[in-house]
Amino acid sequence: MLDTDKITKLRKAPVPPALHLIDGKARAASDDATLPVISPLDGRELTTMARGTASDGEAAIAAARSAFDDGRWSGLAPSARKKILLKWADLIEAHALELAVLGVRNNGTEIGMALKAEPLSAAATIRYYAEAIDKIYGEIAPTAPGTLGLVHREPVGVVGAIVPWNFPLMIGAWKLGPALAAGNTVVLKPAETASLTLRRIADLALEAGMPAGVFNVVLGEGAVVGEAISLSMAVDVIVFTGSGPVGRRLMENAAKSNLKRVYLELGGKSPNIVFADAPDLDEAVKVSANGIFRNSGQVCIAGSRLLVQREIHDAFVQKLQAFSEKMIVGDPLDPATQAGAINSARQLEQNLSFVEQARSGGRQVIGGQRLLEETGGYFMQPTIVTGVEASDPLAQHEVFGPVLAVIPFDTEAEAIAIANGTDYGLAAAVWTRDLSRAHRMIAAIRAGVVHVNTYGGSDLSVPLGGVKQSGNGHDKSLHAFDKYLDLKTAWIKL
């Protein structure tokens, strides 16, 4: 049960200006420039943050390089790193409500989701990788007598992590957890519109005993700070969650510099496919609505394309409309709210432009209006667009808002063709009673994760990654370590 009195107190608390954390010290930008932090709850300035320069990025990279090279972190026994990481996770959990409210004021996620998906999820992720690191072994190769072949797993070095604004703590922890547990040092660049909670947990890392320079945070604009990180000759790996154009830019910069490895999660246009034999259509309606409208659709794996078999299409859409119209959109710090604010005025404008384009193209739009404009905040109605063709812009491009494109289909083969008919391949779902069909669909759909009779909810035990232009590499699970550990062969003549 959420403590509403404490939430009220925290929402009124002043937020101090956010500064970089470089080599264990809070620093202003090198030119003292700042950026306003605008709250999506009311469109007002919440605080300011340092507007990072390229030299700020270079200072953080130098600190991370020095901290890696002198072994103050990588040279610790895995059990020693584990102890510090576990304490860090405990501190994040102890400050969970404070972090959740701060995050909501910064990016607009409804508090019920924010508490679970942000600080509590981040703490669980850091614990998972802390517990795993002293259980990852090297290998002995099957060599001829007189020769010993050993395979060592070693940290890659300096990791540049660039994370998005929708779930900064959750997605940040997916990268920080395995990277730091493996012995690497990190330079983190949060999104301009959601930097405050990541900056706060960096202080908690120091409090937990993490050595200075191991975890650095540089605030500011991606075009400046992200550019400096991706062009650096001293960064060994880039991990990024965000848009396709930025992902391409990072790869280009890696090629221009030291050929650093670049791992990308670039979003999706995920199909949610409902067959007429779905085991529970009411459950499918509820889960499908939450899969696109919670957090106002600002979810990488959001089921933004709903494919419904034609014989149940009209009835399903009616149920979906009835459910969505009852959803409470509003103050994200009210525990009763089911969908909070859009992250920024720019994102809201983009969402509404997609809706207007669909409407002008003759599609039927249910909802699609800005809400609560009098508050100054950025709120939007859950939106259902029917009559969508598979080739429509709304069916091809990621909106990243509460906008659902509904597409009818007749046959299994048609559903597969529509599902695979975009440049993306991050997530998908299939609703059917037919076990054989479920397995055929899992095999046929090109996506990193395929849900059956559910949408979302997978835990840390399984990887998340995309195919096609949804990216490469994986967050979550033990497979995430693959990005942060190098293999070194020792070939020994005995």
Residues 82, 173 contacting (CB under 8 angstroms): no
Provide the 8-state DSSP code for 17: P
pTM over 0.95: yes
Looking at beta carbons, which pairs linking 275-280 to residues 24 or more positions away fall under 8 Å?
275/309, 275/412, 275/415, 275/430, 275/431, 275/432, 275/434, 275/437, 276/309, 276/311, 276/312, 277/432, 277/433, 277/434, 278/431, 278/432, 278/433, 278/453, 279/431, 279/432, 279/433, 279/453
Q: What pLDDT was estimated at residue 402?
A: 98
Q: What pLDDT was estimated at residue 54?
A: 98
Q: What pLDDT was estimated at residue 25?
A: 98
Nearest to 227 by CA among 104, 61, 459: 61
Cα dist from 406 to 155, 238, 357, 360, whole Å? 46, 36, 15, 16
Kindly state the percentage of the chain with pLDDT values over 70. Answer: 100
Tokens of 355: 């809706």
Nearest to 102 by CA among 203, 183, 175, 174: 203
- Catalytic residue check, 98: no
Q: What pLDDT was estimated at residue 42?
A: 98
Low-confidence ranges of the chain (pLDDT < 50): none
Tokens of 188: 């983190």
**Given CA atoms 113, 114, 116, 117 in this order, what sign does their dihedral have?**
positive
- Angle among Cα 418, 367, 326 to the nearest 5 degrees reads 105
Kind of pairing, strands 383-386 and 364-366? Answer: antiparallel
d(CA 178, CA 172): 11
Chain-centre distance for alpha carbon 74: 26
Longest dimension (CA), the chain: 79
Rg over alpha carbons for the chain, rounded to the nearest Å, is 23
d(CA 321, CA 233): 53
Nearest to 471 by CA among 239, 194, 222, 177: 239
SS (H, E, C) 268-283: CCCEEEECCCCCCHHH
Q: What pLDDT was estimated at residue 87?
A: 98
Q: Where are the alpha helices (DSSP H) in 144-299?
A: 168-181, 196-207, 227-231, 244-256, 281-293
- Cα end-to-end distance, the chain, whole Å: 64
Q: What pLDDT was estimated at residue 287?
A: 98
Residues 161, 191 contacting (CB under 8 angstroms): no
493: helix, coil or strand? Answer: strand
d(CA 87, CA 142): 40
Number of helices (H) and strands (E) in the chain: give both, helices first.
Answer: 16, 21
Domains located in the chain, CATH noted: 4-266+471-493 (3.40.605.10), 271-459 (3.40.309.10)
Task: State the virtual CA torsion across 184, 64, 473, 199 in degrees, nearest 10.
Answer: 110
**Given CA atoms 116, 117, 122, 127 in this order, what sign does their dihedral have?**
positive
SS (H, E, C) 376-431: CCCEECCEEEECCCCCCHHHHCCCCCCEEEEEEECCHHHHHHHHCCCCCCCEEEEE
**Dihedral pair phi/psi, residue 42, rounded to 5°:** -140, 5
Q: What pLDDT was estimated at residue 137?
A: 96
448: helix, coil or strand? Answer: coil
339: helix, coil or strand? Answer: strand
Give the helix/strand (H/E) hosting 60: helix 54-69
83: helix, coil or strand? Answer: helix
Q: What pLDDT was estimated at residue 20?
A: 98
Q: Which amino acid, one-letter code, is at 141? A: A
Q: What pLDDT was estimated at residue 1?
A: 78
Kindly give, in sequence order, each residue whose CB lies less than 8 Å from that of residue 227, ignoring residues fewer than 6 positions away.
Answer: 54, 249, 253
Cα dist from 9 to 97, 117, 200, 330, whole Å? 11, 22, 18, 19
d(CA 411, CA 488): 50
485: helix, coil or strand? Answer: strand
Question: Which residue among the candidates 265, 374, 389, 414 is catalytic per the annotation?
Answer: 265
Q: What pLDDT was estimated at residue 301?
A: 97
Residues 435, 443 contacting (CB under 8 angstroms): no
- Angle among Cα 387, 390, 395 to the nearest 5 degrees reads 85
Kindly give, in sequence order, each residue whose CB lies less than 8 Å from that of residue 266, ignoring residues fewer than 6 positions away.
Answer: 241, 242, 243, 244, 247, 424, 466, 469, 470, 471
